Amino acid sequence: MKVTFIGLGIMGSRMAANLIKGGNEVLVWNRSPEKTEGLKQVGAKVAASIVAAVKDADVLITMLSSPEVIEKIALGKEGIILNAKKNSLWINTSTVNPSFVDKMAGKAKEVGLRYLDAPVSGSKGVAEKGELIFLVGGENKDLEEARPLLSVMGKSINHFGKVGGGSKMKMVINLVLAQSMLAFSEAVNLGVASGLDESSIINILSESPVVSPFLKLKIAKLESKNYDPEFSLQWAHKDLHLILQTAYENNLSLPVTAITKEIYGMARQEGKGEEDISAVYAYLLNKKFK
């Protein structure tokens, strides 16, 4: 099976590396060619163009930052859609909104390309250990073909029916993720403003049942003030935008999510976009919201 991986950022580079470790022959392509070097050293082959990357691939896996980037890479004369091998399988692991999934799956079907939407839950460390949770929408037979590859990159594969189901679940997960990080940050901010010791608040909260496993993973970052990205704040902001777009398309109001999006947007505007999502904590404490 010939496998191509496109998109070698924080997540994609580690996912591709695990495919190689699992004994797969992997061809990679990235918009920034320097990001292919590390994978080349562990056995990946590097394609010179998108056309070269996809024309012979049996399975194409993409992990890209946004719907806009996917459209740029997928559409056009030298894009995925017109150059992928007929009946090959495109597994899109990027976080995108369900209506965009429907659009891309439709365009893929027009040219005889099969499509799975398979976004992941988990950040850098989880991706590195091959313990991602896959949220999959698509045909059963396509999932079964993809399963050996997904199993190398993740610990759990969850099928949510037809194409789009995986992305619907990813919207739900990332809504909780972004809001829980913000709620924790505001709670600590309240305690500090009231005169309590910041470290004591964090330690007590981390021992309490109200704090999720995700937040416990962020405690070290908050204490060290080191916000090197595992999941960048700018992508949390992007995901909140997609969540609200999905809510609009379903005639649903999410007022708390709308406020959450704006706070992440303000933190991004203040230069924290490329830092970890937990940098919203530093933004709020520095602003001393009361």
How many residues in the chain?
290
Task: Give me the residue label for tokens 């859609």.
Answer: 81
Per-residue pLDDT of the chain in tens (290 residues, 90 and over written 9): 999 999 999 999 999 999 999 999 999 999 999 999 999 999 999 999 999 999 999 999 999 999 999 999 999 999 999 999 999 999 999 999 999 999 999 999 999 999 999 999 999 999 999 999 999 999 999 999 999 999 999 999 999 999 999 999 999 999 999 999 999 999 999 999 999 999 999 999 999 999 999 999 999 999 999 999 999 999 999 999 999 999 999 999 999 999 999 999 999 999 999 999 999 999 998 865 44
What is the residue-wise DSSP string for 174-186?
A: HHHHHHHHHHHHH
pLDDT for res 288 = 56
In the chain, ranges of CATH 1.10.1040.10 domains: 168-287
For domain 168-287, which CATH number applies: 3.10.20.600, 2.70.150.10, 1.10.1040.10, 3.30.70.1400? 1.10.1040.10
Alpha carbon of 97 to those of 110, 117, 165, 174, 272: distances in Å?
20, 10, 10, 12, 24
* Residues 6 or more apart in contact with residue 278 via CB below 8 angstroms: 181, 218, 221, 222, 227
Tokens describing residue 250: 């379903």
Task: For residue 173, report the phi and psi dihedrals to the nearest 5 degrees.
Answer: -65, -45
d(CA 7, CA 119): 13
Domain 3-163 top-level CATH class: alpha beta
- In the 8-state DSSP scheme, what is residue 232? B
Active site residue 170: yes
Task: For residue 137, report the phi and psi dihedrals to the nearest 5 degrees.
Answer: -125, 135
Given a contact cutoff of 8 angstroms between Cβ atoms, the answer to whether 287 and 267 are in contact is no
pLDDT for res 129 = 97
What are the DSSP E strand ranges found in 74-137? 89-92, 114-117, 120-121, 132-136
- Pick the closest to residue 276 from 215, 225, 230, 236 (CA basis): 230
Catalytic residue (one of 170, 221, 238, 261): 170
In the three-class reduction of DSSP (H, G, I as helix; E, B as strand; rest coil), residue 94 is classed as coil
d(CA 222, CA 200): 12
In the chain, ranges of CATH 3.40.50.720 domains: 3-163
pLDDT for res 289 = 43
Given a contact cutoff of 8 angstroms between Cβ atoms, the answer to whether 14 and 70 are in contact is no
